[in-house]
């Protein structure tokens, strides 16, 4: 199913992430797309909060490391393909975490679109106005009954 949500602030996007976190069982790969500043990292922060990452743990795109790992109810792997070539994904070591005890979250996932398999949740964030974004969620875990 595809669900579209308009958010009017960063906090609202964070809250959508928290809401999606409740639906996660482990083993999902969340593919985030959207321009720079769309709110992909904000959404990852919401998921991290929803899964119980320690609030003191900084949730930011990996820069000096290839991936970030956050301990939580289900451990989170955070990758960002910005500035990587399509083959760059193979050097991150994500495969090692493709199991039911991890959630993999990838910003700029469209760069290596063909790489991802399994239980995918696609999240596209579109810039509408300064504080308004459209979040488009698509995947098996997105069901109408979860949004009432």
Question: Which DSSP helix (H) or strand (E) runs through 120?
Answer: strand 119-129
Which residues would be at the binding site for ligand ADP (CB under 6 A)? Answer: 7, 9-10, 12-13, 34, 36-42, 107, 131-133
φ/ψ of 115, rounded to 5, equals -75, -30
CB nearer to Mg ion: give 40 or 102.
40
What is the footprint of Mg ion within residues 107-126 (CB under 5 A)? 107
* Residue placing its CB nearer to ligand ADP in the complex, 131 or 140: 131
* CA dihedral angle for residue 77, residue 50, residue 113, residue 118, rounded to 10 degrees: 80
DSSP states along 69-114: EE-SSSEEEEEE-TT--GGGGGGTTGGGG-STTEEEEEETGGGGGG
Q: Does 45 bind Mg ion (CB under 5 A)?
A: no
- With binding defined as CB under 5 A, does residue 78 bind Mg ion? no
d(CA 91, CA 100) in angstroms, rounded, equals: 21
Question: Which one of the spans 1-9, 18-26, 33-41, 46-54 is the region binding Mg ion (CB under 5 A)?
Answer: 33-41
Find the shortest distance in angstroms from Cβ 3 to ligand ADP.
Answer: 16
Smallest gap from residue 63 Cβ to Mg ion (A):
11
CB of 85 to ligand ADP, least distance (A): 19
The residues, any chain, with a CB within 8 Å of residue 7's CB and separated by 6 or more, are 13, 15, 16, 39, 132, 133, 135
Question: Which of 7, 28, 34, 40 touches Mg ion (CB under 5 A)?
Answer: 40
Q: How far is the CB of 58 from ligand ADP (least distance, A)?
A: 13
Positions touching Mg ion (CB under 5 A) are 40-41, 61, 107
């Amino acid at each position: 199913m595809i669900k579209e949500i308009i958010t009017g602030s960063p906090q609202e996007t964070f809250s959508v992430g928290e809401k999606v976190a409740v639906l996660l069982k482990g083993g999902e790969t969340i593919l985030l797309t959207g321009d720079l500043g769309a709110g992909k990292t904000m959404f990852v922060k919401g998921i991290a909060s929803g899964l119980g990452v320690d609030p003191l743990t900084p949730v930011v795109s990996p820069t000096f490391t290839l991936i970030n790992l956050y301990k939580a109810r289900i451990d989170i792997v955070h990758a960002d393909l910005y500035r990587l070539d399509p083959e760059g994904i193979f050097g991150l070591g994500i495969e090692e975490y493709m199991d039911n005890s991890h959630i993999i979250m990838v910003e700029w996932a469209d760069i290596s679109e063909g790489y991802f398999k399994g239980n995918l949740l696609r999240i596209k964030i579109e810039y509408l106005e300064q504080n308004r974004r459209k979040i488009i969620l698509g995947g098996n875990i997105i069901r109408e009954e979860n949004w009432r």
